[in-house]
C-alpha cells in the first residue's frame, strides 16, 4: 500500500514537471508576441487556430499550467519525502531544455546541456 | 562548439531581470513557508489549503508571485527560455543559505558540493549565447 502511494507520488511528480515545462514554453510564446516564435511545422499548425494568435492567451495558459503545477506539487509533497521530491523536481530543467529545442528551435549545444547536467547533479547532492 | 565563440553581450535588462527573478523566487518561498509554518503535518490537503488562505503571508507571497510573472515575461521577451530558466536554480542556493542562517542547520560537505555544482552549471549556461533563435525584436534591430 505504501509502495503504491509512493509510485503515485512519482507519477504525479513527473506530470507536474512536464506541466511546469509546458507552462514555461507558453510564457515564452506569450512574451514573444505569439506562436510565430515556434518553429515549423508547429507554427503553421497553430496558425489555423484563431484564438492562439493572441499573446495574452498564451500568457493566461502559462499561468493556468503554473497553477495546476502548484496544486500537483502540493500533492507530491504529501506523498513523498521532500528529500526525494526536491532533487526530482530539477527534472524540470531537462524538460525546459528539450521543449525549447524541439518547439522553439533554441540551440541547446554541449555547453548549455552540460550546464543543465551540473545543475541536476548539484540539486541531488544538496539533499544528501 | 559555436556557443563558445565570441557572442553577443548579454543585455543589462536581461541580467537585472534574472537577478530580480532569483530575489522574488526566494521571497515567495520564504513567505509561503511562513504562511504554512504552524499548520500540523497531519492536516489534510483541503484543511491545509483553506488554512493557508487565512494567512496574511500567503497574500504577500501571491503579490510577489504577480511581480515575478511581469518580470519573467520581460526576461523571456529578450532571452532564450533554455538560457534564462536554468538561472532560477540559484534560488535553491539563496533559500538554503537563508534557512541555514535562520534554522542553524549545519552545512554538510555534500550540500556545499551541490552548491558548487549548481554554480558551475549556471556559469556554463551563462557562457552560451542568450538568444540563439534571433527571433526577439531587439536582436533583429541590432543583429544581422
Q: Is residue B128 part of a domain?
A: yes
Looking at the complex, report in whole angstroms how far the Cα of residue B139 sits from the nearest Cα belonging to chain A: 12
Q: Is residue B4 part of a domain?
A: no
**Nearest CA to A121 among B100, B16, B124, B11?**
B124
pLDDT at A81: 85
B81/A117 CB distance under 8 A: no
- What lies within 8 Å, CB to CB, of A27 at 6+ separation is A58, A59, A62, B72, B73, B76
**Nearest residue of A to residue B62 by CA position?**
A67
**pLDDT at B137 > cutoff 60:** no
The whole-angstrom separation of Cα B57 and Cα A73 is 19
A35 touches chain B (CB under 8 A): no
The domain tally of chain B equals 1
Q: Is residue B3 part of a domain?
A: no
Percent of all residues in chain B with a pLDDT value above 90, rounded to a whole number: 50
B117/A122 CB distance under 8 A: yes
The whole-angstrom separation of Cα B60 and Cα B42 is 25
Tens-place pLDDT, residues B77-113: 999 999 999 999 999 899 888 878 877 777 788 888 9
Distances (CA, A) of B44 to B20, B22, B47, B49: 34, 31, 5, 9
- What lies within 8 Å, CB to CB, of A23 at 6+ separation is A61, A62, A63, A64, A65, A66, A69
pLDDT band, very low/low/confident/very high, at B1 (cuts 50, 70, 90): very low
Residues of A in contact with B111 (CB under 8 A): 125-126, 128
pLDDT at A112: 94
pLDDT at A3: 79
Q: Is residue B2 part of a domain?
A: no
Q: Is residue B5 part of a domain?
A: no
DSSP state of A110: H
Q: Could you list the pLDDT tens digit for every one of the 128 residues in chain A? A: 567 888 899 999 999 999 999 999 999 999 999 899 999 899 888 888 888 999 999 999 999 999 999 889 888 888 888 888 888 889 999 999 999 999 999 999 999 999 999 999 999 998 87
Q: Is residue B85 part of a domain?
A: yes
pLDDT at B6: 53
- Alpha carbon dihedral A117, B24, A27, A33, in 10-degree steps, equals -120
A116/B125 CB distance under 8 A: yes
A124 touches chain B (CB under 8 A): yes
Q: Is residue B6 part of a domain?
A: no
**pLDDT at B15 > cutoff 80:** yes
ipTM of the predicted structure?
Answer: 0.89
Q: Which one is predicted more confidently, A5 or B70?
A: B70
Domain containing B45 equals 12-141
Amino acid at each position: 500500500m505504501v509502495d503504491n502511494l509512493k509510485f503515485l507520488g512519482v507519477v504525479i511528480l513527473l506530470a507536474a514537471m512536464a506541466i511546469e515545462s509546458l507552462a514555461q514554453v507558453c510564457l515564452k510564446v506569450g512574451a514573444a508576441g505569439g506562436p510565430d516564435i515556434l518553429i515549423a511545422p508547429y507554427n503553421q499548425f497553430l496558425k489555423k487556430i484563431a484564438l492562439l494568435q493572441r499573446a495574452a492567451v498564451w500568457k493566461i495558459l502559462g499561468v493556468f499550467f503554473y497553477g495546476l503545477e502548484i496544486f500537483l506539487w502540493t500533492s507530491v509533497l504529501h506523498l513523498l519525502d521532500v528529500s526525494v521530491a526536491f532533487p526530482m523536481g530539477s527534472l524540470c530543467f531537462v524538460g525546459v531544455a528539450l521543449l525549447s529545442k524541439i518547439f522553439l528551435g533554441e540551440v541547446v549545444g554541449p555547453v548549455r546541456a552540460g550546464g543543465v547536467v551540473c545543475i541536476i547533479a548539484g540539486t541531488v547532492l544538496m539533499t544528501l | 562548439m559555436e556557443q563558445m565563440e565570441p557572442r553577443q553581450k548579454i543585455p543589462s535588462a536581461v541580467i537585472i531581470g534574472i537577478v530580480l527573478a532569483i530575489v522574488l523566487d526566494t521571497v515567495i518561498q520564504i513567505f509561503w513557508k511562513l504562511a504554512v509554518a504552524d499548520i500540523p503535518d497531519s492536516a489534510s490537503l483541503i484543511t491545509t489549503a483553506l488554512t493557508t488562505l487565512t494567512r496574511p503571508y500567503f497574500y504577500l507571497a501571491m503579490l510577489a508571485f504577480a511581480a515575478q510573472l511581469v518580470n519573467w515575461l520581460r526576461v523571456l521577451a529578450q532571452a532564450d527560455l533554455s538560457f534564462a530558466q536554468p538561472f532560477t536554480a540559484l534560488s535553491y542556493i539563496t533559500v538554503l543559505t537563508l534557512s541555514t542562517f535562520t534554522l542553524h542547520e549545519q552545512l554538510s560537505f555534500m550540500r556545499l558540493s551541490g552548491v558548487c555544482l549548481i554554480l558551475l552549471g549556471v556559469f556554463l549556461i551563462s557562457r552560451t549565447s542568450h538568444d540563439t533563435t534571433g527571433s526577439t525584436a531587439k536582436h533583429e534591430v541590432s543583429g544581422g
